[in-house]
Amino acid sequence: MLIKESFGPSDFERLVDEENATASRLIFTDQSILDIEQEKVFTKAWLYVGHDTEIPNVGDYVTRQMALDPVILVRAEDGKPQVLLNSCSHRGTQVCGTDVGNTKGFVCPYHGWVFGLDGGLKATADDMDLYEGKVDFKTLDLTKAAQVGSYAGLIFATWNEEADSLEDYLGDARWYLDLFHNRTPEGMEVLGPPQRWVVNTNWKLGAMNFAADGPHAVQVHGPITAATFNVPPSIFRDALVDSPAVSMGNGHNGIFTQIPEVLKDQVPPYLGTYPDLIPVLESHLDPKQTELNRHLLAGVTTMFPNFSSVQGAITFDNESLPVNFLGIRVWQPISATETEIWNWFLVEKEAPQEWKESAAKAGVRTFTPCGTFDQDDAEAWVAINKGISGTMSRKGDINFQMALAYRDKTIPDFPGPGRAYPSNYGEVTEFDVLLEWQKYMKT
């Protein structure tokens, strides 16, 4: 039995060591730290809840999680997305028990209280008058998120009334989100409902891996990259070593892997893009965004705390042209060592149906629990959890010290905002997620 420590704000100063680029192993295994995170991170930050195209019409809803809290994302009568705690104000029952639907309101399955699309209590079945006027029903609406906002179709919510607006929270990261979510006039749509699976690991390991971990890619994904992209691991490695990683501010980070120099003559620009959309992309994005986008092989990002995305171009028959998949996911904490991944794929609304099907297949075969990339990543994260949970093995640090070599090397003339570093291998951006986490935990 491990002795439980109790952690106060000042402890988080030492649990992540900025100077030394290390972090205590405890922050990935200790349940009391996860409990503190729930309050300090997940009730304070903006959290991803769903895509605009998942709830196109008034009354459309989906049920989601904001960390441990079940919520309903619904398009209210005013046409705006609304986020309601999925917990009845009477006895706490979940008022909505399905994945997706359309409704005029929510009827609690226990005693039949009825709530409108805005969460307002409409009726307590036929029992209203039995309360003899002693209860103020106005106080019994469903709890609403303090703020709901959306950017490029991505809907976020926060329980924090004092949080900056979503625009300010995303800040410079919007410039990078545009590359994936705001690259055509009509924007992106989800291809299907979310896929969900549970991995025995801490949510931060996933968020950090997508922020992103360059050095694992050749070791873990070298063979599948060789098989699907016809690129030998050495060239893949060079591409990663020479491609930029960006800290966008507010804990948002990512890597933008470029087509290797030696292949630029053979590989057409905008690899994986539907050909007719290439001129559309070029005119919709600004020239500096285009500069980063033109020879993009893969882009992997995490918006703090737990919303990530991955794009890559892939072909599974070595004959047809590669097709981009764009996956987005949320790393939902369940416990210190369990994470539920929610995963969606997106495509340009303007793309023809056939292309959308290809994009879905490219995604399913790569970044899902049955996907040829993801299945190997998850294996490593579980192995970390196993490797750091003992009496001796939980002592000491997790190491990001490649950052010591790279953190002062920013690219001066980089086209995008934020701090850009010259290598996907730098570990600076991956570690930056923990530095942001530390800020929240210290308050």
Partner 1 sequence: MTSTVSETEYRELSNFLFAEADLLSDHNYVEWEKLLAEDLHYKIPIPQFLEQKGARQIGTIGTDNYNDNIDSMRIRLNLLKNPATTTSERVRSLLNHVVGNVLVSKVSDNEYECKSTITVHRTRFNQKHPTTISGRRTDLIRRTDIGFQLVKRHVKLTQAILMTSNVSYFF
Binding site for ligand FES (CB under 6 A): 88, 90-91, 93, 108, 110-113
* CB 97, min distance to ligand FES, A: 12
Interhelix angle for 216-229 vs 233-241, to 10°? 130
Helix ranges (H only) for 63-172 are 166-170
Q: Binding to partner 1 by residue 122, rule CB under 8 A?
A: no
Per-residue contact track with partner 1, 242 to 281, x per CB under 8 A? ----------------------------------------
**Eight-state DSSP code of residue 146:** S
* CB 401, min distance to partner 1, A: 24
Residue from 152, 277, 294, 316 touching partner 1 (CB under 8 A): that is: 316
Residue from 361, 394, 439, 442 touching partner 1 (CB under 8 A): that is: 361
- State the sign of the Cα–Cα–Cα–Cα dihedral 250, 251, 252, 254: positive
269 by Cβ neighbours in 10 Å (0-12 / 13-18 / 19+) ranks as middle
Q: Binding to partner 1 by residue 17, rule CB under 8 A?
A: no
Question: CA 418 from chain center: how many Å?
Answer: 19
Q: Rounded to whole angstroms, how far apart are CA atoms 246 and 295?
A: 17
Between 42 and 325, name the residue whose CB sits nearer to partner 1. 325
Q: Name the binder of 317 from Fe ion, ligand FES, partner 1, none, CB < 5-8 A by kind.
A: partner 1
Say if strands 188-190 and 338-348 run parallel, antiparallel, or are unpaired.
antiparallel
Q: What are the structure tokens assigned to 385, written together?
A: 């959890």
Q: Rounded to whole angstroms, how far apart are CA atoms 421 and 431?
A: 13
Q: Name the binder of 191 from partner 1, Fe ion, ligand FES, none, CB < 5-8 A by kind.
A: partner 1
Between 63 and 158, name the residue whose CB sits nearer to partner 1. 63
* CB 250, min distance to Fe ion, A: 24
Q: What are the structure tokens assigned to 408, written together?
A: 């002062």
- State the sign of the Cα–Cα–Cα–Cα dihedral 89, 336, 20, 298: negative
Residue facing Fe ion at closest CB distance? 377
Q: Name the binder of 224 from ligand FES, Fe ion, partner 1, none, CB < 5-8 A by kind.
A: partner 1
Count interface residues toward partner 1 (CB under 8 A): 55
- 3-state secondary structure at position 95: coil
Separation in Å, CA 420 to CA 98, 176, 248: 43, 12, 8
Residue from 280, 380, 384, 404 touching partner 1 (CB under 8 A): that is: 380
- 3-state secondary structure at position 379: helix
CB 343 within 8 A of CB 306: no
Binding part of the chain for partner 1, among 124-132, 170-178, 219-227, 413-421 by CB under 8 A, reads 219-227
* CB 376, min distance to partner 1, A: 4
Residue from 11, 141, 242, 357 touching partner 1 (CB under 8 A): that is: 357
Could you write out the DSSP letters of every residue in 267-291?
Answer: SPSSTTS-GGGHHHHHHHS-HHHHH
260 by Cβ neighbours in 10 Å (0-12 / 13-18 / 19+) ranks as buried
* CB 345, min distance to Fe ion, A: 17
Between 219 and 401, name the residue whose CB sits nearer to partner 1. 219
* CB 40, min distance to partner 1, A: 27
**Eight-state DSSP code of residue 163:** S
Residue from 364, 388, 420, 433 touching partner 1 (CB under 8 A): that is: 364
Q: Binding to partner 1 by residue 378, rule CB under 8 A?
A: yes
Between 20 and 318, name the residue whose CB sits nearer to partner 1. 318
Residue from 26, 27, 49, 62 touching partner 1 (CB under 8 A): that is: 62
- State the sign of the Cα–Cα–Cα–Cα dihedral 289, 293, 295, 297: positive
Q: Name the binder of 110 from partner 1, Fe ion, ligand FES, none, CB < 5-8 A by kind.
A: ligand FES
CB neighbour list of residue 435: distance below 8 Å, 6 or more residues apart:
16, 18, 251
Greatest alpha-carbon pair distance for the chain in Å reads 80
Residue from 111, 264, 288, 386 touching partner 1 (CB under 8 A): that is: 386
Between 29 and 257, name the residue whose CB sits nearer to Fe ion. 257
Contacts with partner 1 by CB under 8 A lie at 53-54, 59-60, 62, 97-103, 189-201, 220, 223-224, 227-228, 316-317, 340, 344-345, 353, 356-357, 360-361, 364-365, 368-370, 372, 374-376, 378-382, 386
